[in-house]
Amino acid sequence: MLAIPKFPEEFRKLCREELHTSHTSGILPGYVQANLLILPAEEAEDFRDLCFRNPVACPLLAHTVGDPNTLSNSAIIKEGTFDIRADFPKYNIYEKGSLVEQKLNCRDEWGAGYVGFLIGCSYSFERALSQAGLPPRNVVEKKNVAMFKTSKMLDPAGIFIECPYVVSMRPYKTQDLPKVREITREFRLTHGEPIDWGYDGAERLGIEDLQSPEYGDSITIADDEIPVFWACGVTPQLAVETVGHLINGPVIGHTPGHMLVCDIKDENICN
């Protein structure tokens, strides 16, 4: 097994050279990790609008501009050190909404006019919660977070209509809620504070069974705890899946857990 380098730039190079091909959990803690979606030109325009209209569920960190090496926000990744087609450890290739292949790069799939989107994830605020003595249950139990499809719809954009919010759920004691809201609120570029909480919140979101998440693992809620719901990065993925049959040409995402390590640090995405 290769030693993990000290800086994101070097780690991305390892991925680009296909020397690191596994997940990125625990890699270079403190640096922001990003989700990926790459879309053909026409749908990219709609997706950019979807993110613009729904920043809590679809927190866009940056998108490529013109070529696969240039980002709209160079604070996220330093210029000249990046190839969106190869710097993730592993890619999922979709055709018409279905997963067809997993690959170590997507150079062959990247077409003219393609745009890649880097989307924030909840790792950043999970670390902040842990540091404040309020570690998420899924972190403590080394499980995947519990995720639910809701009845709350994104504000539509172009072809993206009737796309539901997906939420992640972490249980907390009622008296800790203000602190939990305050800590995660600062992470405005990656979902920010919870979008709802409590059993009445679950009802508002149309979640019927808190023990049957659509994605991730089931998490126990103790008697003195309530469920707390954050918008989740699966939302934009599901949105693209929902309209997949309308998209001509391959769509590319990262393989779950195999994320991009960015140059920006957790604390710098609090704006």
Please identify, among the stretches 1-9, 119-127, 151-159, 207-215, the one whose residues bind a second copy according to the rule CB under 8 A: 151-159
Hey, what amino acid is at 115? Answer: V
Out of 89, 192, 216, 250, point to the residue binding a second copy (CB under 8 A): 192
Q: How far, in Å, are 78, 125, 181 from residue 185 at the CA level?
A: 26, 9, 6
Please identify, among the stretches 64-72, 76-84, 108-116, 154-162, the one whose residues bind a second copy according to the rule CB under 8 A: 154-162
Out of 10, 17, 155, 214, point to the residue binding a second copy (CB under 8 A): 155
Question: CA–CA separation, 75 vs 97, rounded Å?
Answer: 32
* Burial of residue 191 (number of CB atoms within 10 Å: 0-12, 13-18, 19+): buried
179 makes contact with a second copy (CB under 8 A): no
CB of 107 closer than 8 Å to CB of 120: no
Strand positions, DSSP E, the chain: 31-39, 60-63, 91-95, 98-103, 115-120, 146-153, 164-173, 196-197, 225-231, 251-254, 260-265
Measured from the CB of residue 195, what is the shortest distance to a second copy in angstroms? 5
Question: CA–CA separation, 96 vs 245, rounded Å?
Answer: 4
Element (H, E) at 203: helix 198-204
- The footprint of a second copy on residues 156-175 (CB under 8 A) is 156-158
194 makes contact with a second copy (CB under 8 A): yes
Please identify, among the stretches 81-89, 121-129, 189-197, 235-243, the one whose residues bind a second copy according to the rule CB under 8 A: 189-197
Measured from the CB of residue 119, what is the shortest distance to a second copy in angstroms? 16
153 makes contact with a second copy (CB under 8 A): yes
Question: CA–CA separation, 224 vs 216, rounded Å?
Answer: 23
Q: DSSP readout, 99-153?
A: EEEEES--TTT--TT-EEEEEE-THHHHHHHHHTT---HHHHTT-PPEEEEEEEE
Measured from the CB of residue 98, what is the shortest distance to a second copy in angstroms? 27
Out of 85, 137, 152, 258, point to the residue binding a second copy (CB under 8 A): 152
Binding mask 54-93 for a second copy (x = CB under 8 A): xxx-------------------------------------
Q: Which of 130, 265, 187 is nearest to 138 (CA)?
A: 130
Q: Which of 198, 164, 194, 163 is nearest to 180 (CA)?
A: 194
Out of 193, 243, 254, 255, point to the residue binding a second copy (CB under 8 A): 193
199 makes contact with a second copy (CB under 8 A): no
Out of 9, 13, 27, 49, point to the residue binding a second copy (CB under 8 A): 49
Binding mask 214-233 for a second copy (x = CB under 8 A): -----------------x--
Question: CA–CA separation, 112 vs 102, rounded Å?
Answer: 21
Out of 196, 202, 228, 251, point to the residue binding a second copy (CB under 8 A): 196
Measured from the CB of residue 162, what is the shortest distance to a second copy in angstroms? 9
Residues that bind a second copy (CB under 8 A): 49, 52-56, 152-153, 155-158, 185, 188, 192-196, 204, 231
